[in-house]
Amino acid sequence: MKHDLDVLVIGGGTAGLVAAAGTAAFGARTALIERHRLGGECTWTGCVPSKALLHAARQIHTMRQAASSGIRAETIAVDFAAVMATVRATRRWIYDHGETPAYLISLGIQPLQASGRFLDDRTALIERDGRRRELTFRAAIIASGSRPFVPEVPGLEEIDFLTTDTLFEIDELPQRLAILGGGATGVEMAQAFARLGSDVTLISHDDRLIAHVDDDASELLRQRLSGEGVDIHLRATIAAVSPAGRSAQLRVAGDGEPLVIEVDRLLLATGRMANTSGLGLEAAGVDYERGGIPVDAYCRTSASGIYATGDVTTALNLTHVAEEMSKAAAVNALSKLPVIKYEQAVVPTVVYTDPEVATVGRTARELRESGIDYDRIDLPYEKIDRAVIEGHGDGFVRVYHRRGKVLGATVVGASAGELIAEYALAMRHGLRLHQLAGTIHAYPTMMLGARRAADQFLFRSLRPWMASVMRAAYGYRGKIPEYVGTRQIV
């Protein structure tokens, strides 16, 4: 049977763009359907604008802290509308330089601005402006992404609340901003808006911020946000919302007495949900659940020849996960064989606050729950000269390992997202700590912190008997340091 397309990709965000580029590169006739905007959540409402806003807020904070370096900045004014214009210009630049229809055409992709749904496992109905067209395909890759999750809160529909879909379109700085959610988005935006001048209240049902990280990493971040004026309520939630003129009243319930907080805007940072509705998944035989479309390590769905990748699946909602999955999905869809797996065990995560909080692999809690014996290395940031030079001595590098094999790592501090990459590389390719310690790193850099931590492994690998043999053989007279032979097992 002759098909209209070799590969049909549904969704034009990061996952869809990478998948389509991959299949087109191998000479497959590929069409990409996007009903809204190419670039998707990451470019327009997620990674790009949020990090651009954080960058602006960090610059303002740095100016305010300049006196510690002997620099006097007498007047610092925030033009919030101009800040947001810069945020929007940044995302537009990224779109214009790699996500436009013309660019996709240059890669051999046929972009279609339309909605699409499956009629069966080899046919899709494409609709735009009332016009319909059926396309047949040999393989399909679902990359329809996700959307903000809006919890059911009495009275919420009566106010003009914000989500990440609308946050970056505002031009007026909220004087009083409440944020519901203590995950990455919640804490990042809490710090950004506090630095820009908002009175920020952060509400989270968890007992700590960023629930998946080590307790002390979470606590360090909590202290920093509190020190910058963020009013944090843990083990709490919004029980009800009511309009109060142009403002809103939030009834906050938690462990203590109920609170009533009046705010100008409310940002919901309560996670995301997969875009599975309207795709005709049942007609194609694709199983899905509330959390998204389950896929195996090769990105295969329950329907032969149909793959899924990115936020629409049950995998982690991270751009770099979507990219990795899409590479695998593209090759597997073309080969019709399970050729490439996407990496599920070694996925770094980064919270882009100041300090950054980055993790890869397992945490101490996960290792204990799995019954895995491990050793721990801690290196305070004050031992990284570049961090001290730039006034970023708060934080730490922590590595969980077993005989030098890296099981997980947590880095809290400036450039943590960069340092964690070295441990991700080590875990992915089986590099051990002595190999990191034996690799020359430039001085003074933040990355040297990764090697300094590995150096500790070498020192702790020494045994008193080794030192005793050397002393006896060569007549050395120094005292053996107390750390020789210690392992700091947790």
In whole angstroms, give the CA distance from residue 128 to residue 135.
Answer: 14
pTM: 0.93
**Digit-coded pLDDT (tens) for 153-210:** 999 999 999 999 999 999 999 999 999 999 999 999 999 999 999 999 999 999 999 9
**pLDDT at position 35:** 93
Is the pLDDT score of 305 beyond 60?
A: yes
Percentage of the chain surpassing pLDDT 70? 98
Quickly state the pLDDT bin for 69 (edges 50, 70, 90).
confident
How many other CB atoms are found less than 10 A from the CB of residue 204? 25
Question: pLDDT tier at 486 (50, 70, 90 boundaries)?
Answer: low
As a whole number, mean pLDDT of residues 244-266 equals: 91
Q: So what's the pLDDT on residue 332?
A: 97
Q: Is the pLDDT of residue 229 over 80?
A: yes
pLDDT of amino acid 467: 73
Quickly state the pLDDT bin for 52 (edges 50, 70, 90): very high
Average pLDDT of the residues of the chain: 94
